[in-house]
Amino acid sequence: MKRYERYAHEITALIEAQTLKAGDRLPSVREACAQRKISASTVFEAYYLLEARGLVQVRPRSGYYVNAKRTPRQAQPHTATPAQHSTDVAVSELVFKVLESTRRKDVVPLGSAFPSPTLFPLDKLARCLTPAMRSLAPERLSEDLTLGNDKLREWLALRYVVEGAAAAPEEIVVTNGAMEALNLCLQATTQAGDVVAVESPMFYSALQALERLKLRAVEVATHPRTGVDLDSLADVLQRHPVKACWFMPNFQNPLGSLMPESAKRAMVALLAQHQVPLIEDDVYGELYFDLRRPLPAKVFDTQGLVLHCSSFSKCLAPGYRVGWVAAGRYAPAVQRLKLMTTLSTAVPSQLAIAGYLQGGSYERHLRGLRSTLANDQQRALRLITRHFPKGTRTTRPQGGYFVWVELPAHINALQLQALALEQHISVAPGQLFSADQRFAHCLRINVGHAQDPRFDAALQTLGELACGLS
């Protein structure tokens, strides 16, 4: 444990023991340095960590203060045992029906897949658009269209290098959001009828993609805290002719699970042994509540088998539709598919984001966003503990903006969803997250709308409705 981690740990203990109470001020940096004989930067790092974890908050020109009481730690949902066989997928109808309900303006969007757009530096981004496009030489509009903007790909490649993954700019294709990247990867690695390994529960868009491409899904047991179960994966690889995996090692949607580094390393090695490509959906990787970005599995890839997909839609620029993929040995195939399906990604969006990134305030924005989301999660968990039926279990993800709620087994989430919608609240029922609709008593709740003044009341109402079904 590093010095700042030890200091943060001690403060955490004081807060949990209620020696430091909500609203108390932490020692100033000067005081802490003097008392503990540690450097100012150590104190700052410790306080950043506590802030990122949602334990304290900074008040400008005043200092760091303890946040409202932490939630008592609730029981964690169970790890589901997926079916042994692979299945055809047919969830689209249900997904469309539910998604449609979340788009209504009068609804508190607890079922949405996006955090509130108010969390993003929309004005700064907008101001980048016109200058970026005006400084572009016209002939650049028709060069290197398909791969994406050079500057943006260089920035992304550098980011990979910093994280320890080798991804040359040539390996990267800028896409119309991560959704396009993931779809292209699936097409580059599979044919209709192939078997794809997925998590259980899993993101419904992945299920829809499998359905659309006539692929078969085989589900791998997924732990609510540590993600893909390696024994289960090994077993699946033995028993099925798996052609690709689609996994989210960082802050999985819907569980929020985070695979430990050692597990990621072992998973990549196992897949390499079977020569099975991994489509890594890493759109939430930047939204960590700890001090460091969790590594993508791509970092451990030595064979070009990991196709790493991400985007700016959930951490910087919603609506700009800029995602990307570093597709390893599949890069040429992905490039061609991109060329054939959407040709290229909108240049204004790419340039504005490249311009914003050069401006140097991305890290500051991300720090604020992470802290907000960590606080929002705390608040949501407190409300769930207070208002939901006895026996409810929740995940407590270390990043992202989803909480996965396991209700008492007899509650039907689709029924709850219908009741909630009558009260102008959307939720994502567990049925959406598996090919065989196995999570019928679960909910995914989006806490990224906690700034909405209707949020607390909506969670309370939702809990009361669930109690009514108990």
Interaction site with a second copy (CB under 8 A): 92, 96, 99, 103, 105, 109, 112, 114, 116-118, 120, 122-123, 125-127, 129-130, 133-134, 136, 138-139, 141-145, 176-177, 179-180, 183, 187, 192, 205, 208-209, 212, 214, 318-322, 336-337, 339-349, 352
Query: With respect to a second copy, which residue has the nearer C-beta, 302 or 451?
Result: 451
Query: With respect to a second copy, which residue has the nearer C-beta, 221 or 334?
Result: 334
For the bound state, the minimum distance from the C-beta of residue 167 to a second copy, rounded and expressed in Å, comes to 22
Q: In whole angstroms, give the CA distance from residue 115 to residue 374.
A: 13
For the bound state, the minimum distance from the C-beta of residue 237 to a second copy, rounded and expressed in Å, comes to 27
For the bound state, the minimum distance from the C-beta of residue 326 to a second copy, rounded and expressed in Å, comes to 19
Query: With respect to a second copy, which residue has the nearer C-beta, 18 or 130?
Result: 130
For the bound state, the minimum distance from the C-beta of residue 312 to a second copy, rounded and expressed in Å, comes to 11
Query: With respect to a second copy, which residue has the nearer C-beta, 71 or 187?
Result: 187
For the bound state, the minimum distance from the C-beta of residue 160 to a second copy, rounded and expressed in Å, comes to 24
Query: With respect to a second copy, which residue has the nearer C-beta, 50 or 147?
Result: 147
Query: With respect to a second copy, which residue has the nearer C-beta, 305 or 317?
Result: 317
For the bound state, the minimum distance from the C-beta of residue 93 to a second copy, rounded and expressed in Å, comes to 9
Query: With respect to a second copy, which residue has the nearer C-beta, 8 or 119?
Result: 119
For the bound state, the minimum distance from the C-beta of residue 128 to a second copy, rounded and expressed in Å, comes to 8
